[in-house]
Amino acid sequence: MDRDMSRASGGIRAVQVAHGRGGASGWSRRLPSLLLRATFAGCLAAGLALAPIAVGAQQARFDTSLVRTFTVAALVTAARTGDSLAGFRASNPATHQRLQGVISRLDRPEVMRLPLALVARPERVTGSTRQARVAFVARAERPANAPGLAEYDGPALDTLAMLMAQELPRALEPLVGEDSTDRLLEPLEAFNFARRGASIAMSLEKLRRYERKYGPGSPRLNGVEVLLNYGAQWLPGFRPNVEGWPGALEVVASYVPMYLTVVDGNGRAIAVAELGLRRYLWNKDFGNSLLKPAYLSLGLAVAGERDAALASPLSGGQRFGAFFGWGEAKIAWIGGSEKRLMFTRQMQLVPWVF
């Protein structure tokens, strides 16, 4: 943090000067701004030699190690410096006010000392952000994810980064050039780098879940289930949500030609129709063993009047019950005149049929 602060200390001093004379007018108002720009340019020139970042022959080059070393204080300082350099107080008062609003929220020691890598999480704004206002963004759910970070600090950080990215580069580049703009906004780049890393992990997690539900290891569907699950895409829980996370549910409507049971000491096979739901378990620890399966299933089980394999359960005199699947292992119980407790394994013998 000390390094962050020292790199931008010229900026901080200058901001304080400018704000101290905020009520002045004419030359007295413009002078601090000009002095500020001169000071910043000097600081940058000196800072380039000292700064712990890789500098190419022609351009400043971002160093990803900064993601670990920069703190919230660096981001706030960059925002303050940029705001002051760009002269937003006079030229863009709405942005100035918004920046100061979120900065005042974050400017607490317990927040300012937090590393950006620790506070960076993918933003969880759902729905259209085209007409988003600060209040809307700040209301977005985002759990406190670091010691010292209060409920609304996360959204405030997102809003600060949003304002910086949306307003500062185009205001600063004509004043100080691309290189200096990039140098000043390095904390923002670091914050976005950390957030993007988290976002990539989020995308890969979504794909892992899609693979669990649809990939080679998932239960195969029969023709009826294909149609029912096509229709279920209109229902929450079955379709992907707005952020693209897959729904955990799937319709089960299958014919199992052989559930196995024991009657009077003899093994017997019984055909059963199942109608229910399959729920996929997203936990990474699950999906690799019988004890920790990739999915559960539950629903109505229907058997015919008599115990028989490959028979139609719907030919009259049905016996009703329930089935429960723990991954591939399934158990079913049917009532009626001849109650049965049966077992089977999830499998598809004839593709798209049963």
Q: Within 59-118, which residues bind other proteins (CB under 8 A)? A: 59, 61-64, 92, 94-95, 98
Four-point Cα dihedral 168, 171, 172, 174, nearest 10: 160
Residue of 44, 125, 184, 272 that binds other proteins (CB under 8 A): 125
Least distance in Å: CB of 305 to other proteins? 33
Least distance in Å: CB of 13 to other proteins? 26
Between the alpha carbon of residue 125 and those of residues 36, 145, 188, 302, the distances in Å are: 36, 16, 19, 45
Q: Does 295 bind other proteins (CB under 8 A)?
A: no
Residue of 189, 252, 294, 323 that binds other proteins (CB under 8 A): 189
**Cα–Cα distance, 142 to 123 (Å, whole number):** 7
Residue of 13, 17, 31, 169 that binds other proteins (CB under 8 A): 169
Tell me, by CB under 8 A, how many residues bind other proteins. Answer: 71
Least distance in Å: CB of 262 to other proteins? 34
Q: Does 9 bind other proteins (CB under 8 A)?
A: no
Least distance in Å: CB of 282 to other proteins? 14
Residue closer to other proteins, measured from CB, 110 or 178: 178
Contact 54, 66 (CB under 8 A): no
Residue closer to other proteins, measured from CB, 61 or 306: 61
Q: Which residue has the tokens 């900026």?
A: 11
Contact 107, 155 (CB under 8 A): no
Q: 266-280 and 249-263 as β-strands: parallel, antiparallel, unpaired?
A: antiparallel
**Residue spans of alpha helices (H) in 109-249:** 109-112, 116-119, 134-139, 153-184, 186-214, 223-231
**Residues 316 to 345 in contact with other proteins, rule: CB under 8 A:** none
Count of residues for the chain? 354
Q: Does 147 bind other proteins (CB under 8 A)?
A: no
Residue of 48, 226, 277, 331 that binds other proteins (CB under 8 A): 226
Q: What's the half-sphere exposure (Cβ side, CA atoms, 13 Å) at 101?
A: 15
**Residues 36 to 55 in contact with other proteins, rule: CB under 8 A:** 54
Least distance in Å: CB of 93 to other proteins? 11
Tokens of 217: 């290891």
Stretch that binds other proteins, among 4-12, 75-83, 241-249, 338-346 (CB under 8 A): 241-249
Q: Does 163 bind other proteins (CB under 8 A)?
A: yes
Q: Kindly give the interhelix angle for 153-184 and 93-106, rounded to the nearest 10 degrees.
A: 120
Least distance in Å: CB of 334 to other proteins? 29
Q: 319-326 and 249-263 as β-strands: parallel, antiparallel, unpaired?
A: unpaired
Stretch that binds other proteins, among 70-78, 160-168, 291-299, 308-316 (CB under 8 A): 160-168
Q: Does 174 bind other proteins (CB under 8 A)?
A: no
**Cα–Cα distance, 141 to 126 (Å, whole number):** 9
Q: Is 152 exposed, middle or buried (0-12, 13-18, 19+ CB in 10 A)?
A: middle
Q: Does 279 bind other proteins (CB under 8 A)?
A: no
Helix (H, G, I), strand (E, B) or coil at 85: helix
Stretch that binds other proteins, among 7-15, 211-219, 255-263, 277-285 (CB under 8 A): 211-219
